[in-house]
Structure 1
Amino acid sequence: MAAPLYGQMMEVPLLASSLLSHASRHFGDTEIVSRRIEGDIHRYTYRDCEKRAKQLAQALVALGVEQGERIGTLAWNGYRHLECYYGVSGMGAVCHTINPRLFPDQIAFIVDHADDAYVFFDMTFGPLVETIAPQCPNVKGWIALGDASCIAEHLGDMSVPVMSYESLIAPHDGVYDWPLLDERQASFLCYTSGTTGNPKGALYSHRSTVLHAYSAALPDAMGASSSDSILPVVPMFHVNAWGIPHAGPLVGAKLVFPGKDLDGKSLYELMEAEGVTYSAGVPTVWLGLLAYVKQAGKRFSTLKRTVIGGSACPPAMLRTFEDEYGVEVIHAWGMTEMSPLGTLARLSFRQKQRTPEEQRVSREKQGHVLFGVDMKVVGDDGRELPWDGQSFGDLHVRGPCVIDRYFRRDDSPLVDGWFPTGDVATIDADGFMNITDRSKDVIKSGGEWISSIDLENIAVSHPQVAEAACIACSHPKWTERPMIVAVLKPGATLTREELIAFYEGKVAKWWIPDDVVFADELPHTATGKLQKVRLRELYRGHVLPDVAEKAV
């Protein structure tokens, strides 16, 4: 056999630092705008960002941080957090973003498990740091993202010694060459939200980070460009804000960071002031934004499209954005273990030739894979199921941005080289994937599966329902039957019977929920997903009406 013929190309590694260097060199004057914790609006450019990120890298070297060490962040979306992204990973350490919405014990576990050498934090998280610091003995220093005077004002009574970020980087000049690392070296560490058991770490490489940014920015994915002003509402502490802090510099887009104020009014005002064309976030955030613009009688003057993921986007929300406000919704799906984007619902040329209603049905699904992601649906016997839009089973994925194993775990979760996502899904002939449930949330009634997501979407489409969740209740004959827990909009008068009747003609009769209960609010995970585990605990003893009647 002849020896392989290799290409004669430059050996330039794919590094996270190259994304910021590219933006600094070719889009140096493009703005990065942040609403700061201090309360004001901060503006600077990609050129400024790279200089300060390099100052941070120099400071970390001066502290003795070595390549491969983990550096934690507990921070909102803002320019200093972006500098941590690039300064930490660029010098060869690992940027470990920590979700501050988790329970303090979980956060302490994550910091300890990651063995973070230093932790950078926004001043709003001072009380949290005070709580967890005694449980994190290996952390060498806690660094507040602010200047010394502001820290003295807001954190002066902390017993935990705190360093000032601005004082840390000020002695350094930013004249620094990013090291040429092996692109397989670790770049970022993100932990799952830990809804069951302790969170697990997904350790990304520089290669996977850059490839994910390329895929995310493609026209049939997020479709980001240098003409965009992008506001990521999805937090930078949650799977790298879905890759936007990397895809933005890759294309030279303006970035707008909202800080800690994520209410509808604050988001709307920032979007309008900064000409935001593109945004991304979970459904719960958009509920607040839509409620505000409707109540205030506002319109979007620049916002053209938004990515909605994290949990299934209710079709009613998609229709409201598009029909009432002219904003395109891009339905997305992914996982921490996938860096995180997996699919986005962007239509092909052929799909756009279909009727508007057929197009909308496709766009309400989670969509087509990004380049670099492959997927399949398998049945109970492990065999791949057909792409007919009807056969549903366990969703498996693989690709260069999908984990091989969890951080500090020797065992691999892969099955024949594929990662089992824990989702139940279908794939249609167009290659569009549709999540029908989480495997742990699916309702099995009389041996047949019922999609809780479909039932939730119908409930939320009722004009008097703000939010809804579907869970299984035990049944002596059918084993499980669906029940809806709904939150009504202010002033609503909807009854249990009226909501059940709303399902007639929309699903098979045996899918119609057996009961509806109303709640003031629904529990959510730290990343905004409905917390089904908690709901099942709350309604564990709930007795369905027909069961109660027979008992009497």
Structure 2
Amino acid sequence: MTGAMMSHPLNTSDILKSAATRTPDQLIISDLPGGKRHRYTYKDALSRAARVANLLGQAGIGRGDRVATLAANHYRHFELYYGISGYGAVVHTLNARLFSEQLQYIINHADDRWIFLDPEFLPLLETVADQIGSVERIVVLCDPDDMPTSEVLTLENYETLLQDQPEAFDWPRLPSDAPCGLCYTSGTTGNPKGVLYEQGSTVLHAMMSGSSQYLDFNEWSVAMPVVPMYHVCAWGVPFSAPLYGARLVLPGAGLDGASLQQLIEDESVTQGFAVPTVWLNLHNYLQDSGKRIDTLQMVGVGGAASPRALVKTYDELYDVFWMGIWGMTETSPLATAAIRTPAMEEMTPEERYELQSSAGRPMFGVEIEIFDESGRPLPHDGVSRGNLRCRGPWILAQYFKGEGQDKFIDGWFETGDVAVINPQGYLRVVDRSKDVIKSGGEWISSVELENAALHDPAVNEACVIGATHPKWDERPVMLVTVKPGQLLDESKLRETLKQKVAKWWLPDAIIQVDELPHTGTGKLRKVELRDEYRDYLLHDQKTD
């Protein structure tokens, strides 16, 4: 016997169609180059997405064909999300911060047929112009008057192509497991691997991640995804925000503190989403400028561990709730969150900061577990550290083209994170497995050391890597940047660290640097730093 409900697969086009019907006048606001700001409604976005879909159909793009974007956070990129996926093709978001070799590999691996790109990314694409044979057309996302020229690529203008297309489209009812999006991992330990998202899983993720169990969107919300739309769909916010009728503020490429503060103030942003570095830079700007972010109520922070010192700063100085979150490209990407709860209101501030700086608890649909090296589950006691695995309806079952099969174990996805889970179910990622430092057979968490360093008032940012040691195999080396106008006192920093971590964890060297390298999404590039400082202690005469 089977149930008696209608077979009605969920499609991404349903989200925008619903938004254009239920909240037709809700705004999407985009910060554009040259100080321009664009405004239009969900109803406008649906008609423009329909033009995109008609263009693809007229040009012979097939169901499941990959159509790439190389663009920042703005309204044209938003309508491409829906026009391409709603048509039945696959939106492949290319990371604008990739090296040319990585970009070439990913475009060819995906067999991209078209690329829609922002003018500022044209020089990057030109570096691989003769090595991307699958690409048939390149469309520039700008007004006709702003079209760039190229000696090596044939370019077409987006607005010119759309102007003669109909504003209505007969959106197909696609199977739930039809592909709709493609995003590649960072590839820090080999070639990037593709994650192919499905129509149904993307809608389910939007429904749950936008709910009160996670981002808590509604028609009063003014949501600003600072995380780039080329990075796991800006954490799914371009899907979850319209599903719940929230206003969207898209910051373009302006991720600096001044630009974000201006947007928050001008557009009354209530919720923002970015990696910790972005909120650190905004804090530094606010301290220097004396400006305010009075409308901001919550920041969702993922992509790296949440520094407890910043959680406290945002609470005490700005009355902003810092919500630690966790997810990956492979989890669509949101999986766990430290949402505000009634129980938190009964806690002391320090107890609350402890939970807010964690990755939180899984939302409905996501299961997490930690395992030892033999594959045995470990207790949720807040102490036991294990390899984090997860499973659920929007979590990857296999990589694009069947790669990376070793990551899938007994129905679980092996995340590559080392984590603890406390008795209340809160997850804390203590390190990436490749970043944990093995010293004398014992493990040292680089993340915990970095967070401890931020309690020193002079430290702006810290990065800890494992350096080769003649006796202990590896020992930690700490690299720090210092806040403007401050001086680093190493002895005071070491005293601060002693209050936060075990004595044998203390770094063998503390090195002040002018800056630390970051990825395009604000994560530390530890691979580069390990390469540079791997033998540092072997040349340090003070090392034991």
Deviations 1:524-543 (CA, angstroms, capped at 9, x unpaired): 22332111111111112212
TM-score by length of 2: 0.97
State the 1:498 CA deviation: 2.7
Which residue of 425, 433, 445 corresponds with 2:439?
Answer: 445
Q: Does the CA-based 8 Å contact 1:499-1:516 persist in structure 2?
A: no
C-alpha contact (below 8 Å) 1:304/1:327 kept by paired residues: yes
The residue type paired with residue 97 of structure 1 is: T
Shift of 1:389: 0.3
Deviations 1:401-443 (A, max 9, x none): 1111110125622011111100000000010000111111111
Quote the offset at 1:258 in angstroms.
0.9
Name the counterpart of 1:122.
118
CA distance in 1: counterparts of 2:519 and 2:73, whole angstroms: 19
The whole-number CA distance in structure 1 between the counterparts of 2:479 and 2:404 is 38
1:212 alignment partner, one of 192, 198, 205: 205
* Residue number in structure 2 paired with 1:296: 289
8 Å contact kept, 2:359–2:427: yes
- SS in structure 2 of the partner of residue 491 of structure 1: coil
Aligned equivalent of 2:455: 461
Residue among 254, 257, 264 paired with 1:264: 257
Q: Distance in 2 between matches of 1:58 and 1:458?
A: 54
Matched residue SS, 2:234? helix
Corresponding position: 1:55 with 2:51: yes
CA–CA distance in structure 1, aligned partners of residues 372 and 481 of structure 2: 35
* Residue 71 (str. 1) matches residue 76 (str. 2): no
Residue in structure 2 matched with residue 22 of structure 1 by the alignment: 18
* 2:427 matches 1:433: yes
The yes-or-no answer on 1:406 pairing with 2:402 is no
Q: TM-score, normalization: structure 1?
A: 0.96
Q: What corresponds to 2:141 in structure 1?
A: 145
In 2, the alpha carbon distance for the partners of 1:510 and 1:148 equals 62
The one of 91, 102, 113 equivalent to 2:98 is 102
Following TM superposition, by how much is the alpha carbon of 1:10 offset from its aligned partner in structure 2, in angstroms? 2.4
1:130-159 CA distance string (max 9 Å, x none): 2222111110000000122211xxx13443
Query: Distance in 2 between the 1:101 and 1:206 partners?
Result: 27
Preserved contact between residue 78 and residue 257 of structure 1 (Cα < 8 Å): yes
| Contact preservation (8 Å) 1:496, 1:515 | no
Distance 1:119 1:284, change over 3 A: same
1:538 equivalent in alignment to 2:532: yes
Mean CA deviation greater in 36-45 or 54-63: 36-45
Cα distance change of structure 1 residues 410 and 511 upon mapping to structure 2, 3 Å threshold: closer
**More displaced stretch, 198-207 vs 508-517:** 508-517
- 1:538 partner letter: E
Moved more, 356-365 or 79-88: 356-365
Which whole-Å CA distance do the structure 1 matches of 2:143 and 2:473 have between them?
A: 60
Question: Structure 2 CA distance, aligned partners of 1:255 and 1:351?
Answer: 28
Output the CA distance in 1 between the equivalents of 2:149 and 2:353: 54
Residue of structure 1 aligned with 2:181, choices 184, 188, 193: 188
Letter in 2 for 1:416: D
Q: Distance in 1 between matches of 2:229 and 2:489?
A: 40
Cα pair 2:454 2:461 within 8 Å, conserved = yes
Structure 1 residue 366: deviation in Å? 0.8
Pair 1:273 & 2:266 matched: yes
2-side partners of 1:264 and 1:353: how far apart?
33
**What is the distance in 1 between the residues matched to 2:419 and 2:80?**
37
Asked whether the equivalents of residues 537 and 543 of structure 2 are also in contact (C-alpha less than 8 Å), the reply is: no
Q: Deviations over 1:73-105 (max 9, x none)?
A: 000000000010000000000000000101011
Structure 1 residues 550 and 89 mapped into 2: Cα distance closer, same or farther (>3 Å)? Answer: closer
Q: Percent identity?
A: 45
Aligned twin of 2:325: 332
Cα deviation 1:377-397 (Å, max 9, x = unaligned): 001111000000000010001
- Residue 544 of structure 1 deviates from its aligned partner by 6.7
CA drift of 1:550 comes to 6.9
In 2, distance between residues paired with 1:351 and 1:213? 26
- CA 299–411 in structure 1, closer or farther in 2 if over 3 Å, else same: closer
2:228 aligns to what? 235
Q: 1:510 aligns with which of 491, 504, 508?
A: 504
2:382 matched to 1:389? Answer: yes
RMSD after superposition: 1.5
Which segment is superposed worse, 42-51 or 356-365?
356-365
Tell me whether 1:45 sits opposite 2:57 in the alignment. Answer: no
2:29 corresponds to 1:33: yes
Task: Supply the distance in 2 between the matched residues of 1:375 and 1:197 (Cα, whole angstroms).
Answer: 26
Cα distance in 1 between the residues matched to 2:375 and 2:443: 18
Judge conservation of contact 1:193–1:526 (CA < 8 Å) in 2. no
* Partner deviation per Cα, 1:10-59 (whole Å, 9 max, x = no partner): 22211001000010000000011111235411111000000000011001
- Any unmatched runs of 5+ in structure 1? none
Q: Name whichever of 500-509 and 253-262 sits farther off.
A: 500-509
Q: Give how far 1:226 is off.
A: 1.1
Shift of 1:361: 1.2
CA distance, structure 1, for counterparts of residue 341 and residue 221 of structure 2: 22
Q: In 2, Cα distance between the equivalents of 1:36 and 1:531?
A: 28
Please identify, of 471-480 and 183-192, the stretch whose mean Cα deviation from structure 2 is larger: 471-480
Report the alpha carbon displacement of residue 496 of structure 1 after superposing the two structures with TM: 2.7
CA deviations 1:216-264 (Å, max 9, x no partner) are 1121311111111111100000000001000011001110111122211
User: What secondary structure, in the 3-state scheme, does the structure 1 residue paired with 2:166 have?
Assistant: coil
| 2:419 partner amino acid | A
* Pair 1:473 & 2:467 matched: yes
Contact 1:496–1:517 at 8 Å: present in 2 too?
Answer: no
Give the deviation of 1:519 after TM superposition. Answer: 0.8
